[in-house]
Amino acid sequence: MHPTDTITAIGTPPGEGGLAVIRISGKEALMIAGRCFRPSRDGVRPDAVASHTVHHGHVVREGEVIDEVLLTVMRAPRTYTCEDTVEIGCHGGVVVTRRVLAAVLAAGARMAGPGEFTRRAFLNGRIDLTQAEAVADLIHARSELAARAATAQLAGHLSRRIEGMRDDLMLVLVHVEAHLDFPDEDIAPETGEALYRRMGVAREGLLGLLRTAGEGRVLRQGLRVAIVGCPNSGKSSLLNRLLGHERAIVTPIAGTTRDTIEESADIRGWPVVFVDTAGLREGVDEVEREGIRRSRQAAERAEVLLHVMDRARPWQAGDATLLEEFTGRRRVLVWNKSDLPGCWEEITGSAECGVQVSCVTGSGMETLKDRIAALAGAGVLTGDAAEVAIGVRHQEALRRAEEALARAMAAMVEGIPLDLVAIEIRMAVEAVGEVVGRTTTEDMLDRIFSTFCLGK
Ligand SMILES: Nc1nc2c(ncn2[C@@H]2O[C@H](COP(=O)(O)OP(=O)(O)OP(=O)(O)O)[C@@H](O)[C@H]2O)c(=O)[nH]1
Ligand SMILES: [Mg+2]
């Protein structure tokens, strides 16, 4: 379980930059660094210097100087992985970085797999599984709220909730199992009731966490919002406005957009993936028909639709058909071109109130962004995301825990033998424990860490 070899990888993104960092972690890290580092001051040896110190020198390989570097030496256990760690800060060129890495590999380190440094931090007990996952969430965060939620998870907010819940369930389990040792004695009614109440509280806690799954998913994957409507209604103009730059081509010609265009944006802190689509009408030519097929596909895949309508031209039969096509979907009706005289009033009698906007003047955009943000969150997370929003893996395990607990509670009510109740409670304890990684399998860890970047 506990790895003993020494791993290395480039910790910074590939490409050109001012600096790059090559990490080395493991028992031999200081020795390996010593083999490829020539200090500027005589006598500085990575395995002899004090912990958490920085040293100037050169990386050399077979006598050849590869780069001028700063070497940071950090001894276990106060490091990211809890192991001896060396970080080499070198120049940020693609080739020079690779050559420094090659020198470290030649000195005896092994190339790290994706997420292997974080995996070691987990295996060495510095962080639990939800915190390890938060590292990946933080790196991939595409909005401010997403980054803040990941930081809170990394700080252990979710871990503490989970551990607290697990402790409560353990207590119940211990009580129930104690009674199993005396099969002739019935559990006293008041004890039974107290246990049942405790289980109810734990179950409420589980349900509360499960309610954050929707927001957790949006924070991690972004809310998919398709911009749909008739040709020329201003869909591409709206995309550009929401992004704040001219991403899509806008012309007065109906049928300008053919292919779907996807772009991410940060809307009131929420990560949102906007998809601009071809205007929906009877396709004129083959290319446009294919575009329209893709529009409908994008609309289907989206969680929210922005249905754009041009109020400055007379109402047409097609408008009603489209409104009809998307009823029942989570959508915002966007009445565009409010800077021009309107030809028709908003559809009245509909409970949906639209948002009046102008892509030319920008009026109404703030209201529209508020509406999109409101659709992103179900209101579980507040503005400051020091809260918890669970991910898909957590959701799956917690749901299993909740179901087992519900069965245990039902069994108690029905007077089913206590050993069966205990089995269900044990299942719940184990499922909750999986979230923080108390019970893991190699497979499960492989799956989690394979989504990490190299060098993390
Ligand atoms: N006056 C005014 N014109 C607008 C507004 N929004 C878009 N337009 C104009 O409407 C025309 C069509 O805009 P687009 O954004 O290309 O429309 P679209 O819905 O993407 O059109 P297709 O890609 O063909 O389906 C362009 O000439 C825009 O300048 C607006 O709010 N006010
Ligand atoms: Mg367009």
Quick check: 12 and 455 in contact, CB under 8 A? yes
- The two structure tokens encoding residue 305: 């639709």
Planar angle of CA 216, 168, 124, nearest 5 degrees: 65
Which of ligand 1's atoms lies nearest the C-alpha of 308?
19
Give the pLDDT confidence score for residue 383 in this predicted structure: 47
CA 302 to CA 297: how far, in whole Å? Answer: 9
> For a pLDDT cut of 70, what percent of the chain falls above it?
95
Beta-carbon contacts of 85 under 8 Å, excluding residues fewer than 6 positions away, are: 23, 24, 25, 29, 74, 75, 76, 79
Kindly give the pairing relationship between strand 110-111 and strand 7-10.
Answer: parallel
Give the chain's domains with CATH numbers: 7-127 (3.30.1360.120), 131-212+389-436 (1.20.120.430), 219-376 (3.40.50.300)
Ligand 2 centroid to Cα of residue 325, in Å, is 20
CA 270 to CA 247: how far, in whole Å? Answer: 20
Ligand 2 centroid to Cα of residue 288, in Å, is 12
**Residue 380 confidence (pLDDT) above 60:** no
Give the pLDDT confidence score for residue 440 in this predicted structure: 86
- The two structure tokens encoding residue 180: 């199993």
Quick check: 257 and 278 in contact, CB under 8 A? yes
Which of ligand 1's atoms lies nearest the C-alpha of 254?
24
Best residue for ligand 1 mutational test, from 227, 232, 307 (most atoms within 8 Å of Cβ): 232
User: What is each CA distance from 172 to 98, 194, 428, in whole angstroms?
Assistant: 55, 9, 11
Does residue 368 come out as left (phi exceeding 0), alpha (psi in the -120 to 50 range) or beta?
Answer: alpha
Give the pLDDT confidence score for residue 17 in this predicted structure: 92
Which of ligand 1's atoms lies nearest the C-alpha of 240?
15
Secondary element (H or E) of residue 10: strand 7-10
Quick check: 138 and 151 in contact, CB under 8 A? yes
Quick check: 418 and 180 in contact, CB under 8 A? yes
DSSP lists the bridge partners of residue 273 as 224, 264
Query: What is the b/e burial string over 219-257, where b = at least 16 CB atoms within 10 angstroms of the residue's CB?
Result: bbbbbbbbbbbbbbbbbbbbbbbbeeeebbebeeeebbb
From the list 34, 30, 116, 28, the residue with the least C-alpha distance to 80 is 116
119-134 residue pLDDT tens: 999 999 999 999 999 9
19-56 residue pLDDT tens: 999 999 999 999 999 999 999 998 899 999 999 999 99
Give the pLDDT confidence score for residue 385 in this predicted structure: 44
Span 128-154, mean pLDDT? 94
Mean pLDDT rounded to a whole number for the chain = 92
**Residue 312 confidence (pLDDT) above 50:** yes
Best residue for ligand 1 mutational test, from 233, 236, 237, 311 (most atoms within 8 Å of Cβ): 237
- The two structure tokens encoding residue 267: 């809307």
